[in-house]
Amino acid sequence: MQLSQIQDCLGSADPQKRMRGITELRFFTPEIVVPLLQPLITDKEFVIRSFAVKGLGIKQTPEAFLTLLNHLDYEIDPNVRAEVANSLAKYGKVAVPHLLELFERDFNWLVRHSILASLDGKEFPEILLKICFLGLQGHDIEVCLASIAHLEQLKGTNHQLEALEIILAHVNSDNVAIRSQVARVLSSFNDLKARSALLILRNDSDYRVVGATLENLI
């Protein structure tokens, strides 16, 4: 498709045509794509906004990065905010402080999941440790489970002991899913405290927790 045809699609009242136009932009350079995508992040259709911010993560320029950051201030749909987080993460180190700030102020589970999934614990151990700690302070069970799981990335780093202490603090959680997740993650740590906690969990009153302690042995 020629660029003029793509521009016609992007300006169409038909959201399907706008989607087609965004898809066709994959063949063009960031310098051409970014100015065309920027107006679409305010589209009335959240799917269009989502694809537009996704494109700004793929076709990277400084202007695209700033557009993504600014968009977080007024995007009301958590699906789009989660996609913004994914796109920001593609910019690497420069995005990490902004992802931490977003995690601190946005309590939507999908947004927080996206941020957790985007961080490499080996590359950014301090940030991941802080984000997982914050995630476990919230009330969303899915975020809590993900936070415990991602702490496993810190095994073998200088932050292993801190990560382990955070995990161990939830051995006696009232929530069965939390205790089960703790059991799974502790099984991968070669540590005396971890092994002692696993012995406790192996005698848990709930069979699901007991089963979780044995998963790595199968």
- pLDDT tens-place string over residues 57-113: 999 999 999 999 999 999 999 999 999 999 999 999 999 999 999 999 999 999 999
Percentage of the chain beyond pLDDT 90 is: 93
pLDDT at 217: 59
- pLDDT tens-place string over residues 17-52: 999 999 999 999 999 999 999 999 999 999 999 999
pLDDT at 215: 80
pLDDT at 57: 97
DSSP per-residue letters across the chain: --HHHHHHHHT-S-HHHHHHHHHHGGGS-HHHHHHHHGGGGG-SSHHHHHHHHHHHHHS--HHHHHHHHHHTTT---HHHHHHHHHHHHTTGGGGHHHHHHHHHH---HHHHHHHHHH--TTTSHHHHHHHHHHHTTSS-HHHHHHHHHHHGGGTTSTTHHHHHHHHHTTTT-S-HHHHHHHHHHHTT---HHHHHHHHHHTT-SSHHHHHHHHGGG-
pTM of the full predicted structure?
0.91
Choose among 63, 38, 58, 64: nearest CA to 49: 38
Whole-number average pLDDT of the chain: 95
- pLDDT tens-place string over residues 124-145: 999 999 999 999 998 899 999 9
pLDDT, average across residues 144-161 = 95
pLDDT at 210: 96
Q: Is the pLDDT of residue 218 over 70?
A: no
pLDDT at 26: 92
